[in-house]
Structure 1
């Protein structure tokens, strides 16, 4: 499992220009089963994506397709982790 941290590198006016395309990107990878949760950080300095995939390289490849990445709107940090504990409602995530 992976936590993808986005940090905006451009003003919010520039971010907002690409939000629609970014959401289409997110929807595509929710549909493929790669993305589990996503949302903006508060304060609005970037975003967070909880992703799954067989390798970090695959997640890196997917991120390179994000319009925010292509337009250099955000920098990305990808953190791989292995869930070992969870709230009972999220127990199925430990098996991914």
Structure 2
């Protein structure tokens, strides 16, 4: 599993121009079963996405296809972790290795 942290590197008005394209890309990842949670950071300087997977290279490739990345308005910090403990109702996301 991965935590994908986006940090804007361009003025907010440029980011906002690409928001619809970014959100369409995000929806595609939800539809593919890759993303399980996402949202903006407070104080609106980026966002956070929880993504399923165990291949860092594949996750790097995926984030490079984000319209925000293509337009160079954000940087991604990719953190891999094993979700060995989960809340009730999230057992299907529990990882054992």
**TM-score of the alignment, normalized to the shorter chain, above 0.5:** yes
Where does residue 34 of structure 1 map in the other structure? 34
Where does residue 71 of structure 1 map in the other structure? 71
How far apart, CA to CA, are the structure 2 residues paired with 1:47 and 1:34? 16
Q: TM-score w.r.t. structure 2 length?
A: 0.93
Q: TM-score w.r.t. structure 1 length?
A: 0.94
Q: Secondary structure at the match of 1:88?
A: coil
Contiguous gaps of at least 5 residues in structure 2: none
CA RMSD in angstroms comes to: 1.3
Q: How many residues align?
A: 96
How far apart, CA to CA, are the structure 2 residues paired with 1:44 and 1:91? 31
Contiguous gaps of at least 5 residues in structure 1: none
How far apart, CA to CA, are the structure 1 residues paired with 2:84 and 2:62? 25
How far apart, CA to CA, are the structure 1 residues paired with 2:95 and 2:77? 23
> 5 Å matches for 1:79-90?
79-90=79-90
Deviation for aligned residue 1:85: 1.2
Structure (1 or 2) with the greater helix fraction: 1
> 5 Å matches for 1:49-64?
49-64=49-64
